[in-house]
Amino acid sequence: MGAKWQRLASEGHTRLEMFEHISLMTLDSLQKCVFSFDSNCQEKPSECIAAIVELCALVSKRNQQVFLHTDFLYYLSPGGRRFRKACRLVHDFTDAIIQERRRTLPSQGSQDVLRAKAKAKTLDFIDVLLMAKDEDGKGLSDEDIRAEADTFMFAGHDTTASGLSWVLHNLAKHPEYQERCRQEVQELLRDREPQEIECAVSKEGRRGWTAEQNLSVHRPGCGWWTVLQAKGRARAKAGVAAGKSEPGMSGSK
């Protein structure tokens, strides 16, 4: 993302819509963490990423229109039809990765794969979910894994992008703190490769203080996704009809 911004600045761009760029960065990062999939969506279009962005916009718009809160009416509307189409695309993407991963695990031995990936630091969220078992030794179904993975993607990218955007906004308004943070980062990176850095930002010096203060003023997790999660849990308990689940929630495609 930094290299992209430098290139855009060198091309004469004086203003950037930061939230859009940061959202693509968080989506790109989460796809690597969740699926070990390199979407490269920051540099080229991605059908799945475009569907995720569209779903976020559709849910936000739906929440602003009271008469569309009823599923029956919403799914008859143009936005509802777009929502279901994008939802199917995202679910199909996740299902394909889960099924492909399931095919590779038995032949290689799940525990051997787990140990090898953990040692190489390539263990992703899908691996963890595929190997998770309850006290009776029963694993998660493909539908359960899809719900967990999609929820992680949708809830994680939007709130993280929002929080980072506000951090950069506030640092731009207060150059003195921006310079202190820059000095701390430069000190941390001195004579070290970025991939070697392992630290909890929330507990480290000026950077952690800045992030904590920003989150206390601008809470990214209190918006539409919190409402959607609560709504999804209520529907899951009631037993949603097939084909009417939000992305990341249990239900049919």
Asked whether residue 133 is assigned to any structural domain, the reply reads yes
Average of per-residue pLDDT across 66-95: 94
Of the candidates 251, 247, 252, the residue with the CA atom closest to the CA atom of residue 49: 247
Of the candidates 111, 222, 82, the residue with the CA atom closest to the CA atom of residue 158: 222
pLDDT band, residue 203 (cuts 50/70/90): very low
Asked whether residue 5 is assigned to any structural domain, the reply reads no
Q: Given this model, what pLDDT does residue 248 score?
A: 39
Q: How many CB atoms lie within 10 A of CB 209?
A: 15
* Sole residue written with tokens 């939000």: 246
Q: Given this model, what pLDDT does residue 228 score?
A: 45
Q: Which domain holds residue 145?
A: 20-192+203-238
Asked whether residue 56 is assigned to any structural domain, the reply reads yes
pLDDT band, residue 79 (cuts 50/70/90): very high
Asked whether residue 13 is assigned to any structural domain, the reply reads no
Beta strands per DSSP E along the chain = none
Asked whether residue 177 is assigned to any structural domain, the reply reads yes
Q: Express as a percent the part of the chain with pLDDT over 90.
A: 19
Average of per-residue pLDDT across 153-179: 86
Q: Given this model, what pLDDT does residue 177 score?
A: 85
CATH number (domain holding residue 42): 1.10.630.10
Average of per-residue pLDDT across 10-16: 84
Asked whether residue 77 is assigned to any structural domain, the reply reads yes
Asked whether residue 64 is assigned to any structural domain, the reply reads yes
Asked whether residue 244 is assigned to any structural domain, the reply reads no
Q: Given this model, what pLDDT does residue 227 score?
A: 44
Of the candidates 36, 26, 29, the residue with the CA atom closest to the CA atom of residue 125: 36
**pLDDT: is 234 or 77 the higher one?**
77
Q: How many CB atoms lie within 10 A of CB 59?
A: 20
Q: Given this model, what pLDDT does residue 89 score?
A: 94
Question: Would you call 137 helix, strand, or coil by DSSP?
Answer: coil
State the total domains in the chain. Answer: 1
**pLDDT: is 151 or 220 the higher one?**
151
